[in-house]
Amino acid sequence: MAEEWATFGADLHLDLRDAGQGTGLRAALMDALREAVRSGRLSAGVRLPSSRTLAADLGIARNTVADAYAELVAEGWLTARQGSGTRVAQRSVPRRRTGSGGPGGQGRPGGARQGAAAARRARARPTYDLKPGMPDLGSFPRAEWLKASRRALTAAPNEAFGYGDPRGRIELRTVLAEYLARARGVYARPERIVICSGFVHGLSLMGQVLRARRVREVAVEAYGLEEHWRLLTRSGLRLPALPYDELGTRTDGLPGMKGVGAVLMTAAHQFPLGGALHPDRRVAAIDWARASGGLVLEDDYDGEFRYDRQPVGALQGLDPERVVYLGTSSKSLAPGLRLGWMVLPESLVDEVVELKGHMDWTGSALDQLTFAEFLESGAYDRHVRAMRLRYRRRRDELVAAVAAHSPQTRVSGIAAGLHAVLELPAGQEPEALRSAAWQGLAVLGLNRFRHPDTAPAQDGLVVGYATPPDSAWSGALAALCRVLPAP
Ligand SMILES: Cc1ncc(COP(=O)(O)O)c(C=O)c1O
């Protein structure tokens, strides 16, 4: 366990006597803390006193301490997490200031010997996380969730503590049906909904059901998540890729793909490229499914987050008998909840429920009842609205920073979701990723999402802008700008 601040007592000499006032005091405090970390007097993982306590100890304003902590978090010396306070970061590697090279003025550490070691450390433990896929975990609505949980527990009937329906709690399926119809245009009835442990659980159930139905191939998009593809290949399915163009995934090619029994799609917001499927292509997918008896597996992973106009409705509304709708709370709330849902065509309900009953029966009834309460009380709508504003602001700041520091870099896929694609000139992705590692920046290249049968078409970085806490956001943006081509 990390040592607590109190263990250090008088050992930590923060001498601020000559520091003056205001920003001078803050700078002196930051220097003193950096020095304490550098010299090892404050070791990795140690919890610092609260800003109130340290301010009282030093006889200075609390804001001065809070500002100094925030800046040291942004620089990577400290970490701040709700509930566990401010701690010395595991990787407190000082980075030299060059006085130039983008916002923040931090450049690459000089010297080849120091460089190789620093690069290795930076790769091992990034300071800033801009990988796509995660919402802002610090904004999880703890207080509202706790209230919903209390209400749910108080009202839960005794039978809720027994083995339940493999489809999940009826209370949740009922309010979810109403919500999905209202917010996502899904044709949903409670008896057709199956609650599962996130999208991946629903997808693996579907993989097994399709294989049991003797489907051999599921078409996938040219870009997507390898982890999801692997779930399907593990069921014995082959995954040919559909090409992608400016209208989105070429669903018009489906009739020519004999042997394909289903298609997996992110129609509302292609992952990771970010476009919405063109209406003609939506219709083409449904026409193919009707004519061939095939199924569309619709991954609606972040449908709530559309910024510049109304969210694009779910494809499922076009034909609920041919589309399996898969939704999740992983982006709108938190992946740790492991709460997802499937809305099934009537013809699939029995097969899916039987398989699920054999495998894992049902998830936690209390979490499901809490989520039902959270939805019904309007807390979910309020949370999604607040997060939409927050993420839109982040997106705007990202676009503005890129325009200012690398005007030739196009930012695409920005109308929705929690990530954007920064397009790079051909061949520059590997160097940009290396440079990001130098900067202590975790970010992913576009090509890692490319299906193996798809020819390389575009280099880029896929930037998830929801993850960094506020205290690290401007530092993360500055590091990102240093990675991009200069004007
Ligand atoms: C494209 C896509 N679909 C679905 C999910 C959600 O998966 P789950 O609900 O299993 O957390 C993610 C999460 O990163 C995703 O990126």
Per DSSP, the chain holds a count of helices (H) and strands (E) of 14, 17
Kindly write down the DSSP assignment for every residue of 429-482, as one continuous string: HHHHHHHHHHTTEE-EEGGGGB-TTSPP--EEEEEE-SSS-HHHHHHHHHHHHH
Beta bridge partners of 221: 242
Q: Are the C-beta atoms of residues 273 and 421 closer than 8 Å to each other?
A: yes
Q: Are residues 185 and 46 in the same domain?
A: no
CA gap 47, 33 in Å, rounded: 13
**Ligand 1 neighbourhood includes 297 CB (under 6 angstroms):** no
CB contact burial 241-253 (16+ within 10 A = b; e otherwise): bbebeebbbbbbe
**Ligand 1 neighbourhood includes 198 CB (under 6 angstroms):** yes
- 459 domain-assigned: no
Q: Are residues 27 and 168 in the same domain?
A: no
Across 6-153, where does the E strand assignment appear? Answer: 78-81, 85-88, 128-129
Domain boundary among 70, 92, 114: 92
Q: Are the C-beta atoms of residues 312 and 186 closer than 8 Å to each other?
A: no
Pairwise pLDDT comparison (392 vs 90), residue with the higher score: 392
- 321 domain-assigned: yes
Q: Are residues 81 and 147 in the same domain?
A: no
- Give the phi and the psi of residue 18 in degrees, each rounded to 5: -100, 15
Q: Are residues 147 and 80 in the same domain?
A: no
CA gap 393, 387 in Å, rounded: 10
pLDDT (0 to 100) of residue 207: 98
Q: Are residues 53 and 176 in the same domain?
A: no
- 97 domain-assigned: no
pLDDT (0 to 100) of residue 12: 52
| CATH number of the domain where residue 212 is located | 3.40.640.10
- 239 domain-assigned: yes
The mean pLDDT value for 97-124 works out to 42
174-188, pLDDT tens digit by residue? 999 999 999 999 999
74-101, pLDDT tens digit by residue? 677 888 877 778 888 876 444 433 333 3
- 395 domain-assigned: no
Q: Are residues 84 and 157 in the same domain?
A: no
- 414 domain-assigned: no
**What is the four-CA torsion angle of 110, 111, 115, 118, rounded to 10 degrees?**
-70
Q: Are residues 243 and 317 in the same domain?
A: yes
Amino acid letter for position 351: E
- 177 domain-assigned: yes
Q: Are the C-beta atoms of residues 51 and 70 closer than 8 Å to each other?
A: no
Domain boundary among 327, 355, 381: 381
- 30 domain-assigned: yes
CA gap 299, 417 in Å, rounded: 13
**Ligand 1 neighbourhood includes 33 CB (under 6 angstroms):** no
**Ligand 1 neighbourhood includes 462 CB (under 6 angstroms):** no
Identify the sign of the CA torsion 48, 54, 55, 59.
negative
**Ligand 1 neighbourhood includes 332 CB (under 6 angstroms):** no
pLDDT over 90, % of the chain: 70
Instruction: Tell me the pLDDT band of 115, cut-offs 50, 70 and 90.
Output: low
Q: Are residues 152 and 87 in the same domain?
A: no
Domain boundary among 381, 396, 413: 381
Q: Are the C-beta atoms of residues 315 and 282 closer than 8 Å to each other?
A: yes
**CA 264, 269, 274: angle at the middle one, nearest 5?**
115
Full domain range(s) for residue 76: 5-92
| Mean pLDDT score across all residues of the chain | 88
For the chain, how many structural domains are there in total? 2
Rg of the chain over all Cα atoms, to the nearest angstrom: 25
| CATH number of the domain where residue 79 is located | 1.10.10.10
Q: Are residues 160 and 51 in the same domain?
A: no
- Residue with CA closest to ligand 1 atom 4: 301
- Residue with CA closest to ligand 1 atom 7: 199
Tell me the pTM: 0.76
328 Cα–ligand 1 center, Å: 7
Instruction: Tell me the pLDDT band of 125, cut-offs 50, 70 and 90.
Output: low
312 Cα–ligand 1 center, Å: 18
Task: Identify the weakest region by mean pLDDT among 6-10, 31-35, 295-299.
Answer: 6-10
203 Cα–ligand 1 center, Å: 10
Q: Are residues 83 and 156 in the same domain?
A: no
Q: Are residues 158 and 86 in the same domain?
A: no
122 Cα–ligand 1 center, Å: 27
251-279, pLDDT tens digit by residue? 999 999 999 999 999 999 999 999 999 99
**Ligand 1 neighbourhood includes 266 CB (under 6 angstroms):** yes
Kindly write down the DSSP assignment for every residue of 348-370, as one continuous string: HHHHHHHHHHHHT----HHHHHH
Q: Are residues 49 and 198 in the same domain?
A: no
Instruction: Tell me the pLDDT band of 209, cut-offs 50, 70 and 90.
Output: very high
13-45, pLDDT tens digit by residue? 566 766 666 667 888 888 888 877 777 777 788
Q: Which atom of ligand 1 is least distant from the CA of 329?
A: 9
* Axis crossing angle, helix 365-376 with helix 142-155, rounded to the nearest 10: 110
